Amino acid sequence: MATLNVLILVCLGYVVLLFGVAFAADRLAATGRSTWLRTPFVYTLSLSIYCTAWTFYGAVGYAARSGLEFVTIYLGPTLIMISWWWGLRKLVRVGRSQRVTSIADLISSRYGKSNILAICVTILAVLGVTPYIALQLQSITLSFSIFAEADPSGIYHEGTSVFWVAAGLAVFAILFGTRNLDANERHHGVVTAIAIEAVVKLIALLAVGIFVVWGIAGGVGPIMERIDASEIGRWNVHRGRWAAITFLSAAAFVCLPRMFQVMVVENDDERHLRTAAWAFPLYLLLMSLFVVPIAVVGLDLMPEGSNPDLFVLTIPLALGNDWLAMLSFIGGFSSATSMVIVAAMALSTMVSNHIVMPIWLSAQGRRASMSGDVRDIVLLSRRISIAVIMALGIVYFRLSGGGAALAAIGLIAFAGIAQILPALVGGLFWRGATRTGALIGLTVGFGLWIYTLLLPGMGGALMPASVLENGPLGLGWLRPQALFGIEGIDPMVHSVMWSLSLNAAAFCIASLVSFPSPLERLQGAQFVNVFDHSAGPRGWTGSVAQSEDLMIMTQRILGAAEAHVFFQAEAERQGGRGYLPEPTPAFLESLERELSGSVGAATAHAMIGQIVGGSSVSVEDLLAVADESAQLLEYSGQLETKSAELARTARKLREANEKLTQISMQKDAFLSQVSHELRTPMTSIRAFSEIMRDTEGLTAQERTRYAAIIHDEALRLTRLLDDLLDLSVLENGQVNLNMGDGNLQDVLDRAVSTAMAGSDRPLRVRRNRASERIPLHTDLDRLGQVFINLIANAQKYCDAPDPVLTISVHDVGGQAVVDFIDNGSGVPPEAQSMVFEKFARVGSDKAGGAGLGLAICREIMQRLNGEVSYLAGQGGGAFRISLPLAYKQAAQ
Residue type present at position 511:
S
Which CB sits closer to other proteins, 391 or 687? 687
Residue type present at position 765:
V
**Segment near other proteins (CB under 8 A), from 116-124, 358-366, 565-573, 843-851?**
843-851
Which CB sits closer to other proteins, 26 or 723? 723
What SS3 class is residue 536?
Answer: coil
Least separation in angstroms between residue 842's CB and other proteins is 10
**Segment near other proteins (CB under 8 A), from 258-266, 376-384, 550-558, 674-682?**
674-682
Cβ-based neighbour number of residue 590 at 10 Å: 16
Cβ-based neighbour number of residue 526 at 10 Å: 24
Alpha-carbon separation of residue 450 from 127, 133, 152, 503 (angstroms): 9, 18, 44, 13
**Segment near other proteins (CB under 8 A), from 220-228, 505-513, 827-835, 841-849?**
841-849
Least separation in angstroms between residue 660's CB and other proteins is 20
Least separation in angstroms between residue 634's CB and other proteins is 55
Q: 812 pairs with which residues across the strands?
A: 815
Which CB sits closer to other proteins, 574 or 673? 673
Cβ-based neighbour number of residue 563 at 10 Å: 21
Binding to other proteins by residue 844, rule CB under 8 A? yes
Least separation in angstroms between residue 657's CB and other proteins is 23
**Segment near other proteins (CB under 8 A), from 8-16, 18-26, 672-680, 772-780?**
672-680
Q: How far is CA 351 from the centre of its chain?
A: 30
Which CB sits closer to other proteins, 93 or 716? 716
Among 307, 514, 680, 808, binds other proteins (CB under 8 A): 680
Q: How many CA atoms lie within 13 A of 727 on its CB side?
A: 21
Binding to other proteins by residue 759, rule CB under 8 A? no
Which CB sits closer to other proteins, 304 or 696? 696
- Cα–Cα distance between 809 and 817 in angstroms, integer? 6
**Segment near other proteins (CB under 8 A), from 174-182, 337-345, 467-475, 679-687?**
679-687
Answer whether 135's CB lies under 8 Å from 335's CB. no
Which CB sits closer to other proteins, 844 or 892? 844
- Cα–Cα distance between 282 and 762 in angstroms, integer? 132
List the x/- string, 430-449, binding to other proteins by CB under 8 A: --------------------
Which CB sits closer to other proteins, 572 or 668? 668
Three-point CA angle 726, 729, 731, nearest 5° = 105
List the x/- string, 306-345, binding to other proteins by CB under 8 A: ----------------------------------------
Answer whether 798's CB lies under 8 Å from 876's CB. yes
Least separation in angstroms between residue 706's CB and other proteins is 8
Site for other proteins, residues 685 to 724, rule: CB under 8 A: 685-688, 690-691, 694-695, 709, 712-713
Which CB sits closer to other proteins, 643 or 718? 718
Q: How far is CA 547 from the centre of its chain?
A: 31
Among 398, 676, 711, 769, binds other proteins (CB under 8 A): 676
Least separation in angstroms between residue 696's CB and other proteins is 11
- Cα–Cα distance between 859 and 249 in angstroms, integer? 96
Binding to other proteins by residue 684, rule CB under 8 A? yes
Strands ordered across the beta sheet of 804-812: 764-767, 804-812, 815-822, 878-884, 867-870
Least separation in angstroms between residue 669's CB and other proteins is 10
Least separation in angstroms between residue 877's CB and other proteins is 18
Binding to other proteins by residue 683, rule CB under 8 A? yes
- Cα–Cα distance between 866 and 847 in angstroms, integer? 28
DSSP string covering 661-698:
HHHHHHHHHHHHHHHHHHHHHHHHHHHHHHHHHH-SS-
Which CB sits closer to other proteins, 319 or 709? 709
| CA nearest neighbour of 57 among 321, 248, 287, 259 | 287
Which CB sits closer to other proteins, 654 or 705? 705
Least separation in angstroms between residue 881's CB and other proteins is 29
- Cα–Cα distance between 834 and 842 in angstroms, integer? 9
- Cα–Cα distance between 70 and 61 in angstroms, integer? 9
Least separation in angstroms between residue 832's CB and other proteins is 18
Residue type present at position 364:
Q
Q: 882 pairs with which residues across the strands?
A: 817, 867
Among 167, 368, 682, 840, binds other proteins (CB under 8 A): 682
- Cα–Cα distance between 94 and 527 in angstroms, integer? 6
- Cα–Cα distance between 512 and 575 in angstroms, integer? 50
- Cα–Cα distance between 546 and 538 in angstroms, integer? 12
Among 584, 672, 738, 833, binds other proteins (CB under 8 A): 672
Least separation in angstroms between residue 673's CB and other proteins is 8
Q: Are strands 815-822 and 740-743 parallel, antiparallel or unpaired?
A: unpaired
Q: Is 324 exposed, middle or buried (0-12, 13-18, 19+ CB in 10 A)?
A: buried
Least separation in angstroms between residue 702's CB and other proteins is 9
Answer whether 599's CB lies under 8 Å from 559's CB. no
Alpha-carbon separation of residue 701 from 204, 445, 687, 694, 697 (angstroms): 151, 117, 17, 17, 11
- Cα–Cα distance between 260 and 124 in angstroms, integer? 15
- Cα–Cα distance between 482 and 491 in angstroms, integer? 8
Which CB sits closer to other proteins, 375 or 679? 679
Least separation in angstroms between residue 709's CB and other proteins is 5
Which CB sits closer to other proteins, 673 or 745? 673
CA 854, 860, 863, 865 torsion: positive or negative? negative
Least separation in angstroms between residue 674's CB and other proteins is 10
Binding to other proteins by residue 797, rule CB under 8 A? no
Least separation in angstroms between residue 712's CB and other proteins is 8
Answer whether 836's CB lies under 8 Å from 868's CB. yes
Binding to other proteins by residue 773, rule CB under 8 A? no
Which CB sits closer to other proteins, 203 or 709? 709
Taking the chain, what is the end-to-end CA distance rounded to the nearest angstrom? 134
Number of chain residues interacting with other proteins (CB under 8 A): 23
The three state secondary structure string of 607-655 is HHHHHHCCCCCCHHHHHHHHHHHHHHHHHHHHHHHHHHHHHHHHHHHHH
Which CB sits closer to other proteins, 570 or 713? 713
Which CB sits closer to other proteins, 393 or 681? 681
| CA nearest neighbour of 860 among 794, 795, 781 | 781
Least separation in angstroms between residue 834's CB and other proteins is 15
Least separation in angstroms between residue 726's CB and other proteins is 22
Least separation in angstroms between residue 803's CB and other proteins is 21
Which CB sits closer to other proteins, 405 or 709? 709
Among 239, 366, 367, 846, binds other proteins (CB under 8 A): 846
**Segment near other proteins (CB under 8 A), from 345-353, 425-433, 461-469, 676-684?**
676-684
Among 159, 218, 843, 875, binds other proteins (CB under 8 A): 843
Which CB sits closer to other proteins, 183 or 700? 700
List contacts with other proteins (CB under 8 A). Answer: 672, 675-677, 679-680, 682-688, 690-691, 694-695, 709, 712-713, 843-844, 846
